[in-house]
Amino acid sequence: MALAPNTPAPAAGLTTTAAPFIEEARAHREIYIHQPYELYSEDNQATWGRLLVRMQDRWMRYANRRYLEGLDKLQLSPARIPHLDEINRFLQPLTGFVARAVTGYVPSYLFLDCLRRREFPTTVTIRDGAHLEYLPEPDIFHDVAGHVPMHTDPAFAAALVRFGDCAAAAARRASAIADQHEKLRRLTSNIRAMSRFFWFSVEFGLMRAAPAGEADDRDRFKVYGSGLLSSFGEIAHAIKSPKVERRPFEIAQVVNQTFEIDHYQPLLFVVDSFDHLFEVVSELEQWMLAGKLDDVAPGEPEVKEADLASFLAAKHD
């Protein structure tokens, strides 16, 4: 079919929300794909380089030490978008984790079950170069430069696996509830609790770097959350802004805390270390099994039908 005059040609390349390859895979309901590397356009490659270069100083100043070590191990280059195979050659021997290409959104049980198998669902598209800063969808910069360096740390990697265990516990519990209405009600609450916990740790977590009074604010906290590590503006805001409240990480608060994704976070939670993070994720599973996540506060995030369905269809052990 010929395009009408003035209709823009479909964008080529692997630009987020405008990648025909991804649209077609989604139309076929594919979730796991290969990284179609040859489809990246010159613009896509240039966008990657600009994103990576402008973050260097920010990372040196605000990122957690383990993140910086991970970044060093992965040897990301501004010259080109990384091949996931190459990343995995560095990553897998360290913690067993691999980056696995996906078409985009992965229903939450499948996502967390991947973590349990030490596979990280990784977006292969890259944001439009005209909008470097804000993007509601993940892209390869967020996933590979924001998340993957953390996966080189054994304690952090173990905490991700515990998220997967937690999801399996929720699916197992739900399958034992006969009353359909009650099953869905509890599962919705459990999924909401896990999403909030994931958001305030893996995506937007801060870590204590020095005791209060011993350093100025810039040095008291470091960033380990990937949403912050992939945001040029928010990484500095999270550490420096007096408008951000930074609280110690308490499960009871975190699982009841709503969040919105379309503006900088006004409230962040602080863990002491990755061993601490691992402990609290393990504790989350205990809370789940004890029924303490069955009535968390309503509100954001919304639990999608597809997320519920993924838990109900789970093949758990």
- State the minimum distance, in angstroms, from the CB of residue 31 to Fe ion: 16
Residue 242: CB atoms within 10 A of its CB come to 6
Q: How many CA within 13 A on the CB side of residue 153? A: 23
| Size of the residue set binding Fe ion (CB under 5 A) | 1
Neighbours of 182 (CB within 10 A): 12
160/207 with CB nearer Fe ion? 160
Give the shortest CB-131-to-Fe ion separation in angstroms. 18
Q: Which backbone phi and psi does 122 adopt, to 5 degrees?
A: -125, 125
Nearer to Fe ion, 210 or 261 (CB): 261
Instruction: Find the shortest distance in angstroms from Cβ 156 to Fe ion.
Output: 14
Q: What part of residues 198-237 is at the interface with Fe ion (CB under 5 A)?
A: 226
Please name the residue that has the structure tokens 């892209």: 139
Q: What is the DSSP string of 26-67?
A: HHTT--B----GGG--HHHHHHHHHHHHHHHHHHHHHB-HHH
User: Distance (Å, rounded) from C-alpha 199 to C-alpha 288?
Assistant: 17
CA 313, CA 311: separation in Å to the nearest integer?
5
Site residues for Fe ion, window 238-277 (CB under 5 A)? none
CA distance 135 to 142: 10
Q: Which is nearer to Fe ion, 151 or 173 (CB)?
A: 151
Neighbours of 133 (CB within 10 A): 10
Query: And the tokens for 105?
Result: 């959104």
Q: Which CB, 125 or 226, lies closer to Fe ion?
A: 226
Q: Give me the sign of the Cα torsion angle 8, 9, 15, 21.
A: positive
56-95 positions binding Fe ion, by CB under 5 A: none
Closest approach of Cβ 203 to Fe ion, in Å? Answer: 5
Closer CB to Fe ion, residue 153 or residue 173? Answer: 153
Which pair of tokens denotes residue 97? 């984790």
Nearest CB to Fe ion, comparing residues 103 and 226: 226
Which of 188/226 has CB closer to Fe ion? 226
Q: Which is nearer to Fe ion, 16 or 226 (CB)?
A: 226
Instruction: In angstroms, give the least distance from the CB of 225 to Fe ion.
Output: 9
Residue 227 CB, nearest approach to Fe ion (Å)? 6
Are the beta carbons of 246 and 126 closer than 8 angstroms? no
Evaluate the CA torsion angle 244, 252, 255, 258 in order and state its sign.
negative
Which residue minimizes CB distance to Fe ion? 226
- Compute the least distance from the CB of residue 214 to Fe ion, in Å: 31
CB of 249 to Fe ion, least distance (A): 18
Binding site residues, Fe ion, CB under 5 A: 226
